[in-house]
Amino acid sequence: MMLRITALLTVLVMLAGCSTSPTGRSQLVLMPDSQMNQMGLQAFTTLKKKTPVDSSRTSNNYVQCVANAITREVGGNWEVAVFKDDSANAFALPGNKIGVHTGMLQVAKNQHQLAAVIGHEVAHVLSRHSNERVSQKFAVEQGLSLVNAVASPQSGTGQAVMGMLGVGAQFGILMPFSRVQESEADTYGLKLMARAGFDPRESVNLWINMGKTNKGQPPEFLSTHPSHSTRISDLRRNMDANMRIYQQAQNAGKRPACR
């Protein structure tokens, strides 16, 4: 009898957590968005304490300009920080937080390529990918400890949670988004940059540049992503539709000039 009740409760929880991503994929998301936002805020605060923040007005204005153009398309108030780190990395967190490493500015050669990076990361947040991973790994067993774990990133649980949020590499662990989630972020991110008036064709050039870094080895940012050839093939397959979106944005006067 108890097993039947447990099974029924499990099914009810699963049904209650069913959601649909922006691309139409079914997801299991059990965590309240408010708690995910709190976790994102705590993670971002921790990162700013432990990683030097770049105070250069030029770098900050440039990254902020690109991020503003992207996030204007989705709404909300987004906080952006540039971190002094030579790795070609970037991330976005629940609660509307965006981080870009200075190393990424050496690989993303222009505003359009940086928009491809930021669009991809914002797409992860809007697609609730962190919530999906946290739900799968921790929601039933220790959901109540998640926020506290983020405040202690050096602990085993803290490292795991930071990894699931997408920023765990700085604390010794990286729990990758799945290939499905990465492809989804590419697809949605390409649309976001096109809607904002950035040239989606530059997304292909970005990933070519990324593949040339670290003496032919994929940088940390790409270590868990689909292969370069798969990514570029997928981007090109979606290019015609996004070029039409880009032209519409240009005709509407959306012409970012971030330098």
Give the residue numbers marked as catalytic.
121
User: Residue 92 pairs with which residues in a beta bridge?
Assistant: 98
99 sits in which H/E element: strand 97-101
Count other Cβ atoms within 10 Å, centred on residue 107: 22
Q: Which residue in 102, 92, 89, 76 sits closest to 41, CA to CA?
A: 92
Question: Which residues lie closer than 8 Å to 106 by C-beta, 6 or more apart?
Answer: 88
Question: Which residues lie closer than 8 Å to 33 by C-beta, 6 or more apart?
Answer: 94, 128, 131
Q: How far apart are CA 221 and CA 3, in angstroms?
A: 44
Q: What 3-state class would DSSP assign to 142?
A: helix
Find out whether 166 and 91 touch, Cβ atoms under 8 Å: yes
Please state whether 76 falls in left (phi above 0), alpha (psi between -120 and 50) or beta.
left
Query: What's the first-to-final CA gap in the chain, in angstroms?
Result: 66
The residue type of 46 is T
User: Residue 91 pairs with which residues in a beta bridge?
Assistant: 99
Count other Cβ atoms within 10 Å, centred on residue 128: 22
